[in-house]
Amino acid sequence: MDTDTIIGSGDFRYRLIPEWARLPDGWDFNEVAAVAVDSRDQVYVFSRSDHPVTVFDSDGRFLRSWGEGVFKRAHGLSVAPDDTIFCTDDGLHAVYRCTLEGRVLMTLGTPGTSKPYMGGEPFCQCTHTALSPQGEIYVSDGYGNARVHKFTPDGRLILSWGTSGVGPGEFNLPHNICCDPDGWVYVADRENHRVQVFDGNGRYETEWRNLHRPSALFLPPGRCPYCYVGEAGPTYGFSRNASNLGPRLSVVSVRDGTVLARIGDRTPANFPGPFTSPHGIAVDSRGDIYVGEVAKTGWGNLFPGVTPAKPRAVLQKLVKVT
């Protein structure tokens, strides 16, 4: 797809820019696990590369990098209202709160030490981090646990909830998490094909079921009426070539879970589609969307044993069309 490609519908139409960020010569993202935007619309990219955190302006100009020698396997990234940034490393089983220049302010978990598989303690391959309006910290603990953990702003564990399963409040890979201004907690329960919604103390409220393997969540600051969801594509052989299952972005009403738009969904006329595995989403003050993808892993899941005709994009920008 070229930079004139328009995707989406209605109020959610975007110009797709696959090659947006300009890295220094010789650098490579490898795979982009997460992306975040600060109050100045600077873009932070958390990648599984030699330079884990790279920072760009909104035009894609490289500004700086940090995190070399600190992170093992990038997974989640979120910017707090005070412009500190939470880096969730599932390979180290830890969450780091950092300044925007990379100075570590706080660490949750013991880096490099995993708690027992499905034991319920933080952490066993944690996936993402979110903040309540009061600054409490929520961490989804997904690959080796089925839990959400809540911490005080200074890092003291308050409570945990969730267990393996398919019922309300149970999880099959809590992969991403976000909070709204009223303190509701939204959890991408990926392999249960839903987003679960809780109050701030883990009480189940409702769920959104019209999603396929939701991996990424983003709620814009303030009282935004919709949530952006990145959905991974099908992995089973019988549905790998099927339509309308993703990989794609969806815009979902926060009020009732209604899908307002599907963006870039794979169809027979749009194959293999613009996305491979949307793993991280951020939206800037203009409404432009940044999508980080673990495209090598995602392509292998979608089309095992097949080499793509050209390298798949791992960081794309969607410029809102007005």
Q: pLDDT, tens digit, for every residue of 97-153?
A: 999 999 999 999 999 999 999 999 999 999 999 999 999 999 999 999 999 999 999
Q: Is-contact 117 144, C-beta < 8 A?
A: yes
Per-residue confidence (pLDDT) for residue 6, from 0 to 100? 94
Reported confidence tier of residue 322, pLDDT bands at 50, 70, 90: confident
Strand-by-strand arrangement of the 174-179 sheet: 174-179, 185-189, 194-198, 204-208
Cβ-count burial of 63 within 10 angstroms (0-12 exposed, 13-18 middle, 19+ buried)?
Answer: exposed
What integer is the mean pLDDT of 225-252?
A: 95
The CATH number of domain 6-320 is 3.40.50.300: no
Binned at pLDDT 50, 70 and 90, residue 4 comes out as low
Confidence of residue 19 (pLDDT cuts 50, 70, 90): confident
User: How many other CB atoms are there within 10 angstroms of residue 253's CB atom?
Assistant: 13
DSSP letter for each residue of 24-55: PTT---S-EEEEEE-TT--EEEEESSSS-EEE
Mean pLDDT throughout 22-32? 98
Lookup: tokens for 180: 């709204």
Q: Quote the mean pLDDT of the chain.
A: 96
Query: Domain-by-domain residue ranges, the chain?
Result: 6-320
- Please check the confidence at residue 10 and state whether its pLDDT lies above 70: yes
Q: What is this structure's pTM? A: 0.97
Other CB atoms within a 10 A radius of the CB of residue 320 amount to 16
Residue 248 burial class via C-beta count within 10 angstroms: exposed 0-12, middle 13-18, buried 19 and up: buried
Angle at 224 between CA 223 and CA 227, to 5 degrees: 135
Q: Percent of the chain scored above 70 by pLDDT? A: 99
What average pLDDT does the segment 267-274 reach? 92
Q: What is the CA radius of gyration of the chain?
A: 18
| Mean pLDDT, range 199-216, rounded to an integer | 97
pLDDT tens readout for residues 277-318: 999 999 999 999 999 999 999 999 999 999 999 999 999 999
pLDDT of residue 3 exceeding 60, the answer is no
**Both structure tokens of 228:** 């952006």
pLDDT band for position 243 (50/70/90)?
A: very high
Instruction: Identify the bridge partners of residue 237 per DSSP, sorted by sequence position.
Output: none
Q: Can you tell me the distance from the alpha carbon of 34 to that of 141, in angstroms, rounded to the nearest whole number?
A: 16
Q: Which of 276, 269, 263 is nearest to 303 (CA)?
A: 276
**Alpha-carbon span 236 to 246, nearest angstrom:** 13
Over residues 67-76, the mean pLDDT reads 98
